[in-house]
């Protein structure tokens, strides 16, 4: 029986070539030649300073540090997201404030954000679920009225856009994921997009363990030392070598993913979907086909469908993350 897996990386051709080149170079640490080439590629795409990280989780933690979140601060975010969005805030001693999501896109309901703002609110974290953009204009307007930072968790949204503008370019900061389950992958990996020029230098320092090593490497200072809080957020250049091969063919990878997404959509619609709710894509959203999600009317039907698929060798049906309010970590003191 041919088995269908949940997610497999799509090799485009140069991954082994670049990986071997990196191995032979002897430069396996962070910020070597392949990382620099990835930075150049992403900087051009987003028109901003980008920094590779070892995960999107790390990029979110960097964002929280850059915003100087601390005890008592509140950060608004959707109640339906992966735990990394909340953990980045909790690790700074701040409090995630969860707002309900829209029933169509499963993104944060922009009409509920303003009511959740208090004198302690410092930022809004939005998540572009399944590569479908949030309603950014009203979100940015609310943030502007209240002097709040906006961070885009664009983990699933590489090469997706909203009204013709790339997701990841709206907030002061944004994060990307190149995890194996994503469209463009490096096994593990992520990036921080720094759209606010005032944050670029400090972002480099935080990423380099709180030191100004990046300036030292560029010859801007005679030595480097401890400047600020930080951690080791750099990925190995071996990871960057694999990522570069994927970035260079990202358009083809996205087209491939979209073709699979539309194939599922056509099949479900042709078969009839009584009792199922299929993805709803707003006209202003150019998504990247990252996830084809199906919502069931009840749990029993979902589990029955899962059992039948597994019996046919199909492991591609996964339950997405639960509402974060219903998870044990939400009860942490």
Q: Which residues are catalytic?
A: 182
Write down the H helix ranges in 91-211. Answer: 136-146, 200-207
Name the token pair of 139: 């979100």
Cα pseudo-dihedral 80, 262, 259, 267, rounded to 10 = 120
Interacting residues of 313 by C-beta distance below 8 A, sequence separation 6+: 1, 2, 3, 4
Residues recorded for the chain: 333
Cα separation of 175 and 193, whole Å? 6
Q: DSSP of 239-274, one letter per residue?
A: HHHHHHHHHHTHHHHHHHHHHHHHHHHHHHHHH--T
Cα separation of 106 and 81, whole Å? 9
Residue 238, classed as helix, strand or coil, is: helix
Name the token pair of 85: 């969005």
106: left (phi over 0), alpha (psi -120 to 50) or beta: left
Q: 43-67 in b/e burial notation, b at 16+ Cβ within 10 A?
A: eebbebbbbbbbbbbbbbbbbbbbb
Residue 132 CA neighbour count, 13 Å, CB half: 19
Asked whether the CA dihedral 64, 68, 72, 73 is positive or negative, the reply is negative
> H or E segment at 194?
strand 190-194
Residue 151 CA neighbour count, 13 Å, CB half: 29
């Amino acid at each position: 029986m041919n088995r269908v897996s949940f997610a497999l990386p799509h090799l485009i051709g140069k991954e082994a070539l670049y990986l071997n080149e990196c191995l032979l170079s002897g430069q396996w640490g962070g910020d070597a030649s392949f990382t620099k080439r990835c930075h150049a590629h992403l900087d051009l795409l987003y028109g901003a300073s980008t920094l590779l990280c070892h995960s999107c989780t790390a990029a979110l933690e960097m964002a929280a540090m850059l915003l100087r979140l601390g005890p008592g601060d509140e950060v608004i975010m959707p109640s339906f997201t992966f735990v990394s969005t909340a953990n980045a805030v909790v690790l700074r001693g701040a409090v995630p404030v969860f707002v309900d999501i829209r029933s169509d896109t499963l993104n944060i309901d922009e009409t509920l954000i303003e009511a959740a703002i208090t004198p302690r609110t410092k930022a809004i974290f939005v998540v572009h679920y399944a590569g479908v953009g949030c309603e950014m204009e009203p979100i940015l307007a609310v943030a502007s009225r209240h002097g709040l930072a906006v961070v885009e968790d664009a983990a699933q949204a590489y090469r997706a856009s909203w009204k013709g503008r790339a997701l990841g370019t709206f907030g002061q900061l944004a994060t990307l994921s190149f995890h194996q389950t994503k469209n463009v992958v490096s096994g593990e990996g992520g990036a921080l997009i720094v759209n606010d020029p005032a944050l670029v230098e400090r972002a480099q320092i935080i990423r380099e363990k709180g030191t100004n090593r990046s300036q030292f490497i560029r010859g801007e200072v005679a030595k480097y030392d401890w400047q600020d809080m930080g951690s080791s957020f750099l990925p190995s250049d071996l990871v960057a070598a694999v990522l570069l091969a994927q970035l260079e063919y990202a358009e083809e990878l996205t087209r491939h993913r979209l073709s699979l997404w539309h194939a599922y959509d056509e099949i479900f619609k042709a078969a009839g979907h009584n009792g199922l709710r299929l993805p709803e894509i707003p006209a202003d959203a150019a998504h990247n086909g990252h996830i084809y999600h199906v919502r069931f009317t009840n749990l029993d039907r979902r589990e029955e469908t899962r059992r039948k698929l597994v019996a046919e060798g199909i492991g591609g049906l996964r339950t997405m993350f639960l509402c974060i309010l219903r998870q044990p970590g939400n009860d942490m003191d």
